[in-house]
Structures are given as structure tokens and as C-alpha cells.
Structure 1
Amino acid sequence: MPVKVAIIGAGVGGLTLAVALQHNPNLEVSVYERATELKEIGALVGLAPNGLRTLEKLGVPEALTDEVGWRSPSGIPMIFLHWQTGELLSEDLYHNVPDRRHHFARMHRAQLQKALLKHVPSESIHLGKKAVSIEVDRSTGSTVAFADGTSIHADVAVGADGIKSNIRKAFVPDHELVWAGDLVLRCTFDYSLVEDIKNLPQDSSHFAGPNAWFFGTRIGADQFGVTAGLSVDPENDPEFREPVWNAPAEVRTLRERYAHWHPVVEQIIDRVPWVRRYCNVAGRALEQWSFKDRVTLLGDAAHTHGGAFAAGVSLAIDDAFALALAFDEIFPPALAPAIGVASSELIGQVFDLYETTRKPHAAKMLAYVHDGRGKARARLEKRRSGGPESDVEFRKRMSNRGDPVWVNEYDVEAAFRRVVADKTAVQPTSCAAPSMQAQARL
């Protein structure tokens, strides 16, 4: 019998995992999504070289097209400009991305979702399935209950249900998502609304200020995306006392908060037809992503990093690929049909390879996030005491930005192969017996 894998969530991470697992005849894959239909919802997302390379390996060429994603004509992935003068403050550069198709691509989330859906059989996707609880028996598998009163049983359940994951909550109920006052306003619309603006950057340009930033860029499908980030003071700002996610907002907020910014920013805002509000939240690094050798987490459910580096989509894609590689290692497609049952010992080995590959990278990201939040809180306290960051201090901070190459050009397959090689060197029969880490799981 094939290993039954239930993926909870049809976001980018869940769909990528479904694509990645399909080729393995030892697995039977189903996806369960809370939405009643897969509509074109969402906003601007960015796909870094690591995510694009992974999708190419998985056979999703549509995601690499110019129709889906916009790439800066200059070949510079991100340009940071002064919020008032437009002067160049900093820029990111590629280190080893010779193929233009792998250049950082900006796109609407729905376009990426559509590209992935072409490679997932429609009969394997089940809509209107909001997971509300999960029960696990290490010997027999997981039972997931849905809000509509139905339930399913699977050998493996993968929580790809987002930053507020109910699957994670079942095993880590005390995991706290903290809001530090970082507010994001987002919108996408037809490029025709802004194409006549004089000196409109064709490169993806990030106007940065001491307490806010404004990112405007062309995106695929001949659209334009705006993402504006504000550092608000929840204690003293009556408009933003509570963290909300994906709620309607007023365009006037953009106009008021970005008054006296660079003329291009103000002109773009004048054309923005609508805007929605998001509050970035983040949580501590989890001690483990997998539980009872039957359940694991993926994407924002596993690492609640709050959108740093615009890396969430690519991180989820790399999680999915690493988990698929781990399944292939323990249940090799060439040896199908697998002999025996989907024992917890074998599933534990899959999870061991997956976590050992991905957790260090995600932990580094979360350490960066929390360090940055600490510094932002210090700047907020300084503003409260009447000492805002000076322009000189701000420029110095921007010039000292770290190089995000370790995120954007990360090679998840190479990392996985190193993990396998290391485990084989220490324990030559590591793929035939349960690992110590697997035996220690809850």
C-alpha cells in the first residue's frame, strides 16, 4: 500500500509539496484547503533565485516566464533609494545567477498558484476543508478533523496551513506570535494606471526612510505592485492599536503617512485604487517541526519569521523540496512498490533528514528577524523620548545592510545531499534503522 500523505493547506508551500511528491509511486498525496474555491487572491510576492531554481527542478517552467514574473531590466535584484531625495543608499547584487530566468521575479501570488495548480491533479485537491484538530497514533497515523464535520486518516500529515497554523497549535499550543508595530499596506493593479508617471523606475525600487519604506514594482501579467511598510507605535497611535491581517484599509492612510516623500512615491500613491492592511507577526524558533513521527510542519507554519527579506515564498518552496527529497531517500521511487508498511520508524527518518536540512537555515532567518525587531524597538523608544534617528544615522544603517545572498541563492538540494552524506558517514545503515533524533520525538 502507498504511504498516504495529507497536505493541510493549498498555499504555495502545500502545492509545491504536492508537485514534488507526485512522481514517487510509493506515495498517495492529497491536499486539503480551507477555502471553498481557489480564487485569485493575495498580493505581490517575490521569488528569489533559490525558489525559482527549485521550481525549475520540479518541472514548473511557467513560474519562470516573463508573463508570470517581472525581473529588473538592470539585472540588480533590489535597489534602495532615499525616501526624500531618491539617492542610491544601497543595492543587492547577484553572486552566482547567470541564468536570467533565475533573477528575482516579482509576481502576483495568484499567478504563482495558477502555475503550480497546472501540475497537481484536480482530484487530489479537496476544498472547504478547514482543519480544526488532529489526533496522532504513532503506530497507525494521523486523523485530521475539519470544520465541516468530516475527517480523514493518513500515514503522514503535513501542516502547510500558514503562520497561524492549527496543526502547529495542536502540538505547540504556547507558541506566541508577537506584533512589534510593523504595519504593511499592499495593493496590486494594472500597470496602465502608473505607466505615464515620469521617471517611474522599471527596476524594483525600495524607497527607504527611518520609520517607513515604500516598495513599488512592475510585476508579471502587466500589473504593478505596491507594498508600504510603516513602523507604528501601538501605544500612542489610535489608528493602529491592534494587529490585524488582511483587512480593508484606507488609501488616505498611504497619502497621509507618505506625504512629503519622493515625488515618484506620491504620484504612485495618487493612482492606487485600493489597499489592504497586514500586520507582520513573528514567533520564536520551534524546537522541533515534527511530532510523533507522523506529523510535520512546512513554510510559515514551521518558521514564523514575519516576511523578512520577502523570502517567505521561496523558503516554503525549499521546505517542500527538502521534504520531497527526504521521502525519495527513504522510500525510493525506483524501488516501488515499497515493501512493508509506512512505519513510524521510516517516517521518522524522513522527518530527520528534512529537519536536519532545513531547521538551521530557518533558525538563522529567525535570529536575524528578532535581532532586527530588537533594534527597531530601540529606535521606537528613542523616538518616544524625543530623539528620532537622524538622517546621518539612517544613511549609515542602510549602508551597513547585510548581504542577503545566503537567503536568495541558497541551494537546498546541495544542503540536503550534505546531510545525507554526513549521516551515511556516521551511520552507514542510517536509512535502514530509525535515527536517534527520530526515536526521541514526542
Structure 2
Amino acid sequence: MPLEVAIIGGGIAGLTLAAALQHNPNLRVNIYERATELKEIGAVIGLAPNALRTLEKIGVADVLTDAVGWRNPNGIPMTFAHYKTGEVISRDFFRNVPDRRHHFARMHRARLQQGLLKHVAPHVIHLGKKVASVAAHRDQGATVTFSDGSTINTDVVIGADGIKSKVRQSFVPNHTLSWTGDVVFRTVFNYSLVEDIPNLPQNSTHFTNGLDFFFATRAGSDQYAVTATFIVDPRTDHQYSETDWNKSASVDTLRERYASWNSLVLAIIDRIPWVRSYTNIAGRVLDQWSFEDRVTLLGDAAHTHGGAFAAGAALAIDDAYALSLAFEEVFPSSGGIVPQKSVPDQLLRVFDLYEAVRKPHSSKLLAIVEAHRRNNLSQLAKRRSGHGETDEEFRKRYTARMDATWLAEHDVEATFRKHVEVGNVAGKGNSATVEEKITTVPGKVIVEITEAEVHVPARATL
């Protein structure tokens, strides 16, 4: 019989994995989603070249159109502008993205979800299934208990249930999430509301004063999006401590917070019809993602990075693809069904491959996020004491920003193939970890990375 794979969560991570696995006859995939309908409540997301290439590989190419995702006319992924003058102070660039369809694309999250749903059979999606707990035993499989009292027994559980994952909580109960100090306001609305604003940028632009942002962008062919983020001290500014992802907020808060910014920012704010807010949360790097050789984590459930670099969706998509490649490597579509007594050992190989490919990559990001967080809070304290950086220092710092090409143009399939090749040559398990050195200096994060080929040991069971 095929392996029963239960994906917990019908968001981007879960749907991408289901789309990637569904053609493997060795696997029978089902998605269990807590919502009673698949209605995306998010706002704009950005998909970097890595995610767009991955979606194309798994056959979800319909989301690569200009109608769905906005690509900057100037061919530059991001522009950073001075908060008062509006002048460009920094830009990101592509290094190796010759196909325009793979240029960084901004879109409403619902459009990506709808695109993925076209590639997942409706009958495998089970709605209204809120997880209460998950239990697993290496030799017996896994049991998922839902809040309505029902249960399922399955061979594999994939926790794709977000940053507050119940699957993760079942196996890492002491993992905590903490407020980063970021307060985020977001909205998406019809482009016609702003299209007559003089000199409105057609290229996605981050206006910034060094700590706070006002990000404005086209989203697909007919929408416009704003994400405004400002930092406060989570130890003292308790009025912003609400973490509800979808809390209704007032546009007047933006008018007050950005009153001293340039006239273009203020003109955009005046056209915003509605806005919602949330406070950003993040957690530490997990020691392991997989448990009892029956359960593993995916996307935000695995790496609670809190949306940094606008990379959450792209990371989830590449996680899903790497896990699907690991399943295909161990349970190839062209091969026969593996005897049930061999399943735990085979799943150990799947999860080892998956973690070896993805965990160093996301751990690097989490280390950078934490370093940025410490720097930002230090900068905020200095600013509030009257000793913040000068305008010249701020401009200089942004000129020396980190190059994030390692993240935006990461080739997950090439990384996977390398790990498989090294693991096969070594004749033992899987290989390669990334050793990182993260250091900070005032206003800057320095990351040194060396890659070392080492054996990845079997993870501890809980």
C-alpha cells in the first residue's frame, strides 16, 4: 500500500508540497486545514527568483504571469529611498536571472494560493480540522488528534501549520516565540486609487529612515500594496504587544507615525482605504525538525524567522520542493512499494536529506534576523536618548547593506543534488552542514559562511 502522508496546514507550504508529491504513486497525500474555507487573509507577498523557478519546476507556472505578479520595469528587485527626500540611497540587483518571468514578483497571497489549488485535487483537502496534538512512534506511525475529538492514523505527518505550529508544539513544547519589536501595518487595494498620484513609483520601493520602513509596490496587474513597519521597544512599548495577525487598524496611525516623511509617502497614505496590523514574532533555531522518523516540519513551522527579507513564502516553497525531492529519492515514482517494515529507515533517510539541504540555509537566516534585531534595538535606544546615527551615517550604512543574493537566487535543487552525490560517495547517511560566524558592529551585520562536508547523524527521538 502507498504511504499515507498527512500534511497539516493548507497554506503555501502545505499546498506546494501536495502539488509536488501528488504524482508519486508510492504516496497518498491528504491535507488537513483548520479553516472552514480556504480564504487567504494575508496581503502582499514577494516571490524571489528561487521560489519562482521552483514553482515552474513543479508545474505551477501559471503564477509566473504578469497578471498575477508585478515585476519592476527597471529590472531591479528593490530600491531603497530616503524617507525625507525620496532620493535613492541603495538598490538590490539580480546576479543570474536571465528570464524575466523569474524576476522578483509581488502579488496578493490569495492569488498564489489560488494558483496552487489548481494543482491539488480537491478531494485531498479536509477543512475544519484544527489540530490538538500529534503523537508518533517510530515503529507504529503517527496519530493526529483534532480539536473536534476525531483522530487519524497515518504513516507520515508534515507540520506545515505556520509559525504557531501545533505539530511543533507536540514535539518541542518549550519552543517559545517572542515579539521582535516590529509593528507592521499592511494593505492591498485597487491600483486605480493611487494611479493619478504624481511621480508614483512603478518600481517597488522601500522608503526608510534606517529603522522604520514604508514599502509601496504594484501587486499584479491591478492592485497596489503598502507594508509599513516601525520598531518599538518590546520591553516598554506594551501598547503594541497585540500579536493578532489580522487586527483591524486605523489609517490615522500611519498618518501620525509618518507625518514627517516625504510628500509621496503622505499622498499614498491618504489614498489607503483600509489597513490591518500585527506585531512580528520570531523564535530560535530548532535543534531538529523531524521526530520519531515519522514527523517533520515545513515552512514557518520549522524556521520561525518572522517574515524577514520578505522571504517566508519563498522559503516555504523551497522547503516543500526539497522535501518532495527527498521523497522521490527514497521512494522513487518508478520503483515499487517499499515493505512496511522498512518504512522507518527509509523515512529517516528522507528527513535526513531534507534537513541537511534546508536547515543550514534557514539557520543562517535566523542568525541574521537575530543579529539585526539586536542592532535595531540598540539603534532605537540611542535614537531615543538623542544619540542616534546621523543622516550621513544612516546613508553610509545603507550603502553597505548585506547582499541577499544567497537567499533570493538560491538553487535548492542543485543543493539537493550535491548532498545526494556527497552522501552516496561517502556511503553513509547524508552530508554537508554550514558553519556560520555571525558578528555585529554598530549598524551592520557581517556574515561569514564556510561549508564543510560532515556526516549528519540520526536525530534524537522524543
TM-score w.r.t. the length of structure 2 is: 0.92
Q: Distance in 2 between matches of 1:337 and 1:289?
A: 26
1:53 matched to which residue of 2? Answer: 53
Structure 1 stretch displaced more, 405-414 or 213-222:
213-222
**Cα offset, 1:336, TM superposition:** 3.2
Q: Distance in 2 between matches of 1:135 and 1:62?
A: 38
- Sort the Cα spacing of 1:370 and 1:428 in 2 relative to 1 into closer, same or farther, 3 A: closer
Q: Distance in 1 between matches of 2:173 and 2:409?
A: 34
Q: Distance in 2 between matches of 1:343 and 1:337?
A: 10
**Cα offset, 1:67, TM superposition:** 1.1
1:304 matched to which residue of 2? Answer: 304
- Sort the Cα spacing of 1:429 and 1:318 in 2 relative to 1 into closer, same or farther, 3 A: closer
- Sort the Cα spacing of 1:429 and 1:301 in 2 relative to 1 into closer, same or farther, 3 A: closer
Unaligned runs of 5+ in 2: 431-454
2:29 matched to which residue of 1? Answer: 29
Q: Distance in 1 between matches of 2:25 and 2:159?
A: 22
- Sort the Cα spacing of 1:414 and 1:387 in 2 relative to 1 into closer, same or farther, 3 A: same
Deviations 1:56-75 (A, max 9, x none): 00000111011110000110
2:445 matched to which residue of 1? Answer: none
Q: Distance in 2 between matches of 1:343 and 1:193?
A: 56
Q: Distance in 2 between matches of 1:336 and 1:253?
A: 60
Residue pair 1:79, 1:205 contacting (<8 A) in 2 also: yes
Equivalent residue of 2:334, what SS?
A: helix
* Count of residue pairs brought into register by the alignment: 439
Structure 1 stretch displaced more, 242-251 or 85-94:
242-251
Give the aligned residue type for 2:276.
R
- Sort the Cα spacing of 1:41 and 1:439 in 2 relative to 1 into closer, same or farther, 3 A: closer
2:261 matched to which residue of 1? Answer: 261
2:458 matched to which residue of 1? Answer: 438
**Cα offset, 1:440, TM superposition:** 4.2
Give the aligned residue type for 1:260.
S
**Cα offset, 1:233, TM superposition:** 3.0
2:166 matched to which residue of 1? Answer: 166
Give the aligned residue type for 2:401.
R
Equivalent residue of 1:4, what SS?
A: strand
Find out whether 1:344 has 2:349 as its counterpart: no
Residue pair 1:206, 1:214 contacting (<8 A) in 2 also: yes
Q: How does 1:271-350 map to 2 (within 5 A)?
A: 271-341=271-341, 343-350=343-350
Deviations 1:4-57 (A, max 9, x none): 100000110110000010111000000000100012421000000000000000
Structure 1 stretch displaced more, 105-114 or 231-240:
231-240
2:417 matched to which residue of 1? Answer: 417
**Cα offset, 1:176, TM superposition:** 1.4
Find out whether 1:406 has 2:401 as its counterpart: no
2:13 matched to which residue of 1? Answer: 13
Q: Distance in 2 between matches of 1:93 and 1:14?
A: 30
- Sort the Cα spacing of 1:142 and 1:339 in 2 relative to 1 into closer, same or farther, 3 A: closer
**Cα offset, 1:210, TM superposition:** 2.9
2:129 matched to which residue of 1? Answer: 129
Residue pair 1:205, 1:217 contacting (<8 A) in 2 also: yes
TM-score w.r.t. the length of structure 1 is: 0.96
**Cα offset, 1:239, TM superposition:** 3.7
**Cα offset, 1:260, TM superposition:** 2.1
Find out whether 1:377 has 2:366 as its counterpart: no
Give the aligned residue type for 2:179.
W
Deviations 1:238-259 (A, max 9, x none): 6424444321111100111011
Q: Distance in 2 between matches of 1:112 and 1:180?
A: 27
- Taking only aligned residues, the RMSD between alpha carbons, in angstroms, comes to 1.7
Q: Distance in 2 between matches of 1:424 and 1:132?
A: 39
Deviations 1:203-243 (A, max 9, x none): 11111113311001000151001000101234554642444
Equivalent residue of 2:39, what SS?
A: coil
Give the aligned residue type for 2:458.
A
1:203 matched to which residue of 2? Answer: 203
Equivalent residue of 1:360, what SS?
A: helix
Q: Distance in 2 between matches of 1:251 and 1:429?
A: 54
Q: Distance in 1 between matches of 2:241 and 2:368?
A: 26
**Cα offset, 1:338, TM superposition:** 3.6
Q: Distance in 2 between matches of 1:233 and 1:441?
A: 38
**Cα offset, 1:389, TM superposition:** 2.6
Higher relative contact order (CA 8 A, sep 6+): 1
1:63 matched to which residue of 2? Answer: 63
Q: Distance in 1 between matches of 2:311 and 2:177?
A: 18
Q: Distance in 2 between matches of 1:65 and 1:362?
A: 28
**Cα offset, 1:78, TM superposition:** 0.2
1:249 matched to which residue of 2? Answer: 249
Residue pair 2:291, 2:460 contacting (<8 A) in 1 also: no
Identical residues among aligned pairs (%): 59
Q: Distance in 2 between matches of 1:242 and 1:35?
A: 22
1:226 matched to which residue of 2? Answer: 226
Residue pair 2:349, 2:429 contacting (<8 A) in 1 also: no
Structure 1 stretch displaced more, 86-95 or 380-389:
380-389
**Cα offset, 1:441, TM superposition:** 4.0
**Cα offset, 1:344, TM superposition:** 1.1
Equivalent residue of 1:161, what SS?
A: coil
**Cα offset, 1:340, TM superposition:** 4.3
**Cα offset, 1:263, TM superposition:** 1.1
Unaligned runs of 5+ in 1: none
**Cα offset, 1:385, TM superposition:** 2.5
1:175 matched to which residue of 2? Answer: 175
Residue pair 1:136, 1:143 contacting (<8 A) in 2 also: yes
**Cα offset, 1:439, TM superposition:** 6.4
Equivalent residue of 1:210, what SS?
A: coil
1:154 matched to which residue of 2? Answer: 154
Structure 1 stretch displaced more, 404-413 or 335-344:
335-344
